[in-house]
Structure 1
Amino acid sequence: MTVPNEIMTIAIASLATFATRFLPFLIFSGKKETPGFVKYLGEHLPPAILGILVIYCYKSQILHPGFDSLLAFFAGLVTVALYYVKSDMLLAILFGSATYVGLVYLF
């Protein structure tokens, strides 16, 4: 790839990225009511995506059970328990990840 092609590729990717960030603010400005389907997606899509990510993370553990699966499920339980106690998603994810890494390192 030549230097002008690389510059054009970076420019197009940057333009597309910025457009997707600013377009919702232009379309859904404070002048008009936000459509119902957008409110529905905003309310129901994040939990659905989180559920899909959890299933994706544990699929190999379920298909090929072993000692590592036990460590992963224990770290997941730590994450869920800490979230319910502290109600802080970032803290729960960080501590759960650290628990898994620590357990894998120890065993």
Structure 2
Amino acid sequence: MTQAQEIMTIAICVAGTMATRFLPFLIFREGRPVPPYVQYLGKALPSAIFAMLVVYCLKNVDFASGAHGLPEFVSIAATVAIHLWKRRMLLSILGGTLCYMALVQLVF
């Protein structure tokens, strides 16, 4: 890749990032009501993305080998317990990740 191509690639990436950051503020100006569909997406998408992450994390679990998926399911249980206890998504994800890493590195 030439230097000109590198500069154009970086410029396109910057323009795309800036557009996704500024576009919502241009579309949904202050004082105008947010459309109901966008409000629905704001409520539904976090849970849907979390569910998709769980499915993605469990797609390669092999029940016929080694730990039979035990670290994954214990970590999911820990994530759910932390979330029910504190109701903070980032803390729940961090706790589940740390639990999984500890189980995989130290126990299994």
Q: Is the shorter-chain TM-score for this pair beyond 0.5, marking a shared fold?
A: yes
Q: State the alpha-carbon separation in 2 of the partners of residues 32 and 91 from structure 1.
A: 34
Aligned length: 105
Gaps of 5+ in 1: none
Q: RMSD over aligned Cα, in angstroms? A: 1.4
Gaps of 5+ in 2: none
Deviations 1:42-71 (A, max 9, x none): 11122112111111111222xx21415111
TM-score when scaled to structure 2? 0.88
Are 1:35 and 2:35 counterparts?
A: yes
Q: In structure 1, the residue corresponding to 2:69 is in which secondary structure? A: helix
Aligned identity (percent) is 49
Q: State the alpha-carbon separation in 2 of the partners of residues 11 and 28 from structure 1.
A: 26
| Structure 1 runs (4+) greater than 3 angstroms displaced | none
Deviation at 1:31, TM superposition (A): 3.1
TM-score when scaled to structure 1? 0.89
Q: Which amino acid aligns with 1:55?
A: V
Are 1:46 and 2:46 counterparts?
A: yes
Equivalent pair of 1:68/1:104 in contact (CA under 8 Å): no
